[in-house]
């Protein structure tokens, strides 16, 4: 028995203990006796065992730290070289070398290399990977994961001498001491493992070969789609059917209110506010230029043409306005409640900022301009001037003013549709009427109602005036 053992290489000495305390005191004795290549195996973590065995703190944190620093340096060097030297490119107006912008990559690489350091450092320090450890040859060692505590002294320790170690361990109160010998099972890696490994390497080359093959050959087959995305969305031709929409028509009707380019709305009179037939009779070339500009859908040319009309007017006397341009006299659209409401809305949106909700010319823009005291400011016109009433200022001219602007006021043809411009014209007329109406213009059925309202409003005004007078008198007495 001893013969066979002596032929084998001794690896160390293993002692078994039944309690934590006996293990710890044994550890201390071994440490004090000067052994350093020692280890303890316990079924659960035992506090203070490192100290009892005199194990020095691991160098793993340092490996981790320097691997991390290496990552930071690599990242910063790479970024400074790329962004600051090799390919200088302004990104978001930052300097070429902008440390704040470099942080994400530097951070990522630091973490990556630090975790590699921790992972592979642990393997290296523990001498991993290895198939087996000689301590497993000890028949009772399995209980290290169950209910026994083991202390191990490596034969590589300078002080190791089998007899001395055995007596020392016996002294510590261990009742099972066993010399661990090197594992004598064959060292050669089993053949099946080589075969599996070889097969795996061979299989891993197959995808690469497929890619290489595809790069040098052509195929008439359609592309192999893993994610089809929108590659197969069917395109429909005019007049075809589809199951996608309820009416089975592939061609979709226009969205209501769509205006095609160049689409004429109503007659030229409606579009310009000018009675084109009369203009033709009065000034044929001008009428032709106007029509041509309209046919070409040239907004700027139309505005120019109509403004020219207006300028010519200005050069002539005010009185001749009506004679130089035959304006459309009455709103060509049917003026009803719907049109007026539309006009009110559009006036509120487009005109009231300057002209005010009541049309008196004191909108927010004007108030602001007055406040700032701009001396070049031209105040918006008051719609209640009698020169702007329909007898002197026909609907067509008002329409043209909205469309093409006048003097300091910009044109709104680009923003407001033809219908809405006429709706505004109708609303401006109503606005003007509202400030100058007599009781006669009220329908008979509502006359009573209106005159009552007027009466009570008058009374209210009177009451307010009296109150103000009383207050003034009271103040004077004081
Ligand atoms: C940006 C401010 C502004 C807006 C918005 C504006 N106007 Fe004017 N408007 C003016 C100014 C300023 C004048 C006076 C121009 C001048 O006398 O040089 C004026 C003048 C007028 C006149 C009198 C033109 C004349 O021949 O004397 C009418 C009518 C008029 N605007 C109607 C409208 C209508 C309707 C709208 C809404 C579509 C509108 N304006 C939107 C600023 C504006």
In a shared domain, residues 110 and 178 = yes
CA of 373 to the centre of ligand 1 (A): 20
In a shared domain, residues 173 and 310 = no
What tokens appear for 216 in the block? Answer: 């040098």
pLDDT average, residue stretch 433-460: 84
In the numeric block, the tokens 């595809």 are attached to: 214
Instruction: Compute the mean pLDDT over every residue in the chain, rounded to the nearest whole number.
Output: 86
Out of 130, 161, 186, a domain closes at 186
| CATH code, domain carrying 326 | 1.10.760.10
In a shared domain, residues 149 and 8 = yes
In a shared domain, residues 385 and 427 = yes
- Is the distance from CB of 154 to CB of 37 less than 8 angstroms? yes
CA of 374 to the centre of ligand 1 (A): 18
- Band of the pLDDT at 208, cuts 50, 70, 90? very high
In a domain, 260, yes or no: no
The pTM assigned to this predicted structure is 0.46
CA distance 400 to 412: 10
CA distance 468 to 435: 26
pLDDT tens string 370-418 = 888 888 888 898 988 888 888 888 888 899 889 888 888 888 988 888 8
CA of 201 to the centre of ligand 1 (A): 84
What tokens appear for 180 in the block? Answer: 């661990």
Q: Please identify, by atom number, the ligand 1 atom nearest to the C-alpha of residue 408.
A: 18
Can you give the residue range of the structural domain that contains 464? 447-473
CA of 380 to the centre of ligand 1 (A): 5
pLDDT tens string 1-35 = 344 444 678 899 999 999 999 999 999 999 999 99
Q: Which residues line ligand 1 (CB under 6 A)?
A: 350-351, 353-355, 365, 378, 380-381, 388, 398, 401-402, 406-409, 412, 424, 428
In a shared domain, residues 137 and 5 = yes
What tokens appear for 376 in the block? Answer: 């070049």
Out of 143, 169, 186, a domain closes at 186
**Residue 361 burial by Cβ neighbours in a 10 Å radius (0-12, 13-18, 19+):** middle
In a shared domain, residues 365 and 464 = no
- pLDDT of 305 higher than 60: yes
CA distance 286 to 308: 9
In a domain, 93, yes or no: yes
In a shared domain, residues 453 and 424 = no
In a shared domain, residues 425 and 282 = yes
| Greatest distance between any 2 Cα atoms in the chain | 141
Helix, strand, or coil (residue 54):
coil
In a shared domain, residues 52 and 121 = yes
pLDDT average, residue stretch 184-196: 86
- Is the distance from CB of 138 to CB of 184 less than 8 angstroms? no
Q: Please identify, by atom number, the ligand 1 atom nearest to the C-alpha of residue 388.
A: 29
Higher pLDDT, 79 or 386: 79
In a domain, 242, yes or no: no
Q: Could you tell which of 314, 325, 354, 425 is best to mutate to test the pocket of ligand 1, judged by most ligand atoms within 8 Å of the CB?
A: 354
In a shared domain, residues 169 and 292 = no
Which pairs from 264-268 meet CB under 8 Å and 24+ separation? Answer: 264/294, 265/417, 265/418, 265/419, 266/332, 266/418, 267/332, 268/294
- Tell me, what's the pLDDT at 448? 84
- Tell me, what's the pLDDT at 81? 96
Q: Which of 402, 238, 396, 393 is nearest to 332 (CA)?
A: 396
In a domain, 222, yes or no: no
- Tell me, what's the pLDDT at 309? 55
């Amino acid at each position: 028995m001893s013969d066979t053992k002596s032929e084998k290489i001794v690896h160390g000495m293993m002692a078994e203990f039944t309690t934590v305390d006996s293990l710890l005191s044994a550890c201390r004795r071994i440490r004090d006796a000067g052994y350093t290549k020692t280890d303890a195996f316990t079924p659960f973590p035992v506090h203070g065992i490192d100290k009892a065995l005199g194990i020095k703190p691991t160098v793993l944190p340092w490996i981790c730290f320097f691997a991390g620093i290496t990552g930071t340096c690599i990242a910063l060097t790479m970024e400074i070289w790329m962004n600051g030297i090799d390919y200088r490119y302004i990104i978001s107006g930052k300097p070429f070398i902008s440390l704040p912008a470099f942080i994400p990559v530097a951070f990522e690489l630091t973490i990556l290399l630090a975790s590699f350091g921790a992972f592979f450092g642990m393997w290296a320090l523990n001498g991993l990977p290895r198939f087996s450890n000689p301590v497993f040859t000890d028949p009772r060692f399995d209980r290290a994961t169950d209910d026994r505590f083991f202390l191990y002294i490596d034969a590589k320790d300078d002080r190791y001498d089998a007899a001395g170690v055995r007596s020392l361990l016996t002294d510590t109160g261990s009742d099972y001491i066993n010399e661990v010998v090197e594992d004598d099972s064959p060292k050669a890696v089993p053949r099946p493992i080589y075969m599996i490994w070889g097969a795996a390497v061979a299989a891993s080359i197959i995808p690469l070969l497929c890619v290489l093959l595809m790069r040098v050959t052509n195929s008439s087959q359609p592309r192999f789609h893993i994610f089809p995305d929108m590659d197969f969305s069917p395109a429909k031709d005019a007049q075809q059917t589809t199951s996608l929409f309820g009416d089975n028509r592939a061609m979709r009707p226009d969205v209501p209110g769509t205006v095609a380019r160049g689409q004429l709305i109503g007659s030229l009179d409606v579009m310009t506010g000018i009675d084109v037939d009369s203009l033709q009779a009065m000034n044929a070339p001008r009428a032709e230029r106007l029509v041509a500009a309209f046919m070409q859908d040239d907004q700027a040319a139309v505005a120019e043409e109509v403004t020219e009309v207006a300028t010519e007017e200005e050069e002539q006397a005010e009185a001749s306005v009506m004679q130089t341009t035959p304006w459309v006299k009455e709103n060509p659209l049917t003026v009803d409640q719907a049109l007026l409401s539309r006009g009110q809305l559009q006036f509120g949106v487009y005109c009231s900022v300057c002209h005010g909700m009541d049309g008196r010319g004191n909108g927010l823009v004007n108030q602001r301009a007055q406040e700032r005291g701009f001396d070049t400011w031209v105040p918006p016109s008051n719609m209640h001037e009698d020169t702007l009433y329909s007898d002197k200022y026909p609907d067509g001219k008002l329409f043209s003013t909205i469309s093409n602007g006048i003097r300091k006021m910009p044109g709104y043809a680009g923003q407001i549709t033809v219908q809405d411009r006429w709706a505004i014209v109708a609303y401006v007329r109503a606005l003007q009427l509202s400030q100058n109406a007599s009781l006669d213009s009220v329908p008979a059925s509502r006359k009573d109602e209106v005159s009552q309202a007027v009466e009570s409003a008058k009374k209210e005004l009177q009451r307010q005036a009296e109150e103000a007078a009383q207050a003034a008198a009271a103040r004077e007495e004081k």
